[in-house]
């Protein structure tokens, strides 16, 4: 069977998203979702964002790093299936109101999904590049 693995996964450290418009994506992830800028690297076409204890890196599809990934994501292709952000509190009404104020549509109804901490309520939306984002609340007594 081989030797024992010399490490254990602790959490997702960061996710890198290729985006068509860096400033539009920055506004979405900061203004709508509450991320904050950790570092900007203009020569790479990259912005690092704090997302709780993890990071989301945005890279421009036409930048030094992003251009290596081919065409931009769109209706027929994605950068990833979805990104899940653990949020607290999970108040459906407040979330819907906030997203509506920012012109962001919710995909479907709130439902229970399994996450790193167990089952809990979540909802889905799309970022400006069409990437799905799941906003997931804490483990719920109704769901876990």
Whole-number Å distance between alpha carbons of 29 and 73: 17
| 111 close to 122: Cβ distance less than 8 angstroms | yes
Domain ranges of the chain: 14-139
Whole-number Å distance between alpha carbons of 26 and 15: 14
Provide the whole-model pTM. 0.77
Over residues 78-132, the pLDDT tens digits come to 677 789 999 999 999 999 999 999 999 999 899 999 888 889 999 999 999 888 8
Task: Just give the CATH number of 14-139.
Answer: 3.10.180.10
| 90 close to 121: Cβ distance less than 8 angstroms | yes
Could you give the count of Cα atoms lying within 13 Å of 95 in the half-sphere of its Cβ?
21
Whole-number Å distance between alpha carbons of 18 and 83: 13
Angle ∠(135,137,139) on CA atoms, nearest 5: 145
pLDDT at 70: 78
pLDDT band at 144 (very low <50, low <70, confident <90, very high): very low
């Amino acid at each position: 069977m081989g030797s024992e693995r010399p490490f254990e996964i602790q959490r997702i450290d960061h996710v890198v998203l290729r985006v068509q418009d860096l400033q539009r994506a920055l506004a979405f992830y900061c203004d709508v979702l509450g991320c904050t800028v950790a570092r900007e690297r203009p020569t790479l076409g990259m912005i690092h964002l704090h997302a709780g204890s993890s990071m989301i890196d945005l890279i421009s599809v036409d930048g030094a790093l992003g251009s290596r990934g081919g065409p931009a994501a769109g209706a027929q292709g994605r950068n990833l299936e979805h990104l899940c952000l653990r949020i607290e509190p999970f108040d459906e009404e407040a979330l819907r109101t906030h997203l509506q104020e920012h012109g962001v549509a919710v995909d479907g109804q709130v439902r229970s999904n399994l996450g790193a901490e167990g089952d809990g309520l979540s909802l889905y939306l799309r970022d400006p590049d069409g990437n799905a984002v799941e906003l997931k609340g804490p483990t719920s007594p109704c769901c876990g």
